[in-house]
Structure 1
Amino acid sequence: MGKFNIESLSIPDVKLIKHQVIDDNRGTFSEIFNRDYLKNLGVDCCVFQENFTVNHRGVVRGLHCQIEPYIQDKLVRCTKGRIFDVVVDVRTNSPWFGKWISINLSEDDNSLLWVPGGFLHGFCSLVDNTVVEFKCTGQWNLAYERAVIWNDPWLNINWPLPHDEIVVSERELTRNDFSAVKNWFFYEPGAELMMDK
């Protein structure tokens, strides 16, 4: 493996990135972000903003995205603890529209998740004091934020904890259901192939 190994998930635009870990008598060293190297592998992450969250067990953040002109691609990493990470395709005319995928990220797996614009993103913290960091390619702007409630019955996301153990903000409880997703993004056939170049 080179510095990074990139794997397309079942929705091809979503990528799992494994970074190399060098282990010697001093400890370990990892290069976890290199814009030019990742761009050559099809992940163009021009970082504009970086976020850091500390989460109790059972906390769900999401499902969120931003629309034009404040679209945010995200590079997500769990640096402490474990999360159940969820991505939902909300691109009109996409063959995966309304489909969700999940992956567990932890401090031990040397992985990052690439979530491009056109997808809702959210996660559930599986242990106390879980730390999640994500690099974003655009600035947060409340007026252009869009969201779907975490327990939307149509999506029927299989969250790994009982619903009575989930902790969300009051704001998250007021989110729309999935029927509100109308033309937030448009799917471009072949774009996922370009990402795999």
Structure 2
Amino acid sequence: MTIEKTAIQDLVIINPTVFPDERGYFFEAYNQAKFAENGIHYNFIQDNQSFSKRGVIRGLHLQINPFAQAKLVRVLEGEILDVAVDLRKNSPTYGQHVSVVLSAENKKQLMVPHGFAHGFSVLSETASVLYKVDQVYHKDSERGIRYDDPVLNIDWKVSPDEVIVSEKDVVLSAFNDIDWEF
């Protein structure tokens, strides 16, 4: 397993070591000791899974303190563009985002720490996404930012006529209107 740094501190891409053979392949998707050796210290307590069709954008979602969630995101089937936005006000990269293609084929994972909004778009016909979290869902701590916020200017790699967004996500806050801190 290798840990790939991104342009934003603490936001990393996990590249597993894959062992292919005539039967298929094997890899460790998560190994707490190896994560800890690389400075990643989270106690994941829940796995969440979603299935979506092409053009779906989920996000940008987060929970505020004390229920902020770290997420370890990977794709079981299909391909997504995974996006994390730095919302840590004291960070030199506040308001910046990183996007990475995660797929069943490349087996990459994105480690999204506390203090980030997270979302993804589905680039394949369908996608199954699995992510670990270190905190349970807490409705009163739930927040979000609109996927099409002009300040963030995220290219979701999906044409506008294909975009499918939930009613809940359409009414999320604009980046300039957020009033929470990490």
Alignment TM-score, normalising by the size of structure 1: 0.89
Report how many residues are paired.
182
Distance apart, 1:27 and its partner CA = 2.3
Hey, what does 2:63 align to over in structure 1?
66
- How large is the RMSD of aligned CA atoms in angstroms? 1.1
Hey, what does 1:195 align to over in structure 2?
none
Alpha-carbon separation, structure 1, partners of 2:56 and 2:165:
6
Letter in 1 for 2:167: E
Within the candidate set 81, 96, 100, 1:99 is matched to 96
Between stretches 157-166 and 73-82, larger displacement belongs to 157-166
Give 4+ residue runs of structure 1 displaced > 3 Å after superposition: none
Distance apart, 1:181 and its partner CA = 2.2
Hey, what does 1:42 align to over in structure 2?
39
Q: Is the 8 A contact 1:92 1:182 kept in 2?
A: no
Secondary structure of 1:38's counterpart equals: helix
Hey, what does 1:188 align to over in structure 2?
none
Identity of aligned residues (%): 38
Between stretches 7-16 and 42-51, larger displacement belongs to 42-51
Alpha-carbon separation, structure 1, partners of 2:6 and 2:168:
30
Hey, what does 1:134 align to over in structure 2?
131
Distance apart, 1:182 and its partner CA = 3.0
Within the candidate set 140, 153, 158, 1:143 is matched to 140
Hey, what does 2:155 align to over in structure 1?
158
Cα displacement string for residues 15-46 of structure 1 (whole angstroms, at most 9, x for unaligned residues) = 00011111223321111111122111111231
Structure 1 residues 12-23: aligned runs within 5 Å: 12-23=9-20
Runs of 5+ consecutive residues of structure 2 not aligned to the other structure: none
Letter in 1 for 2:45: F
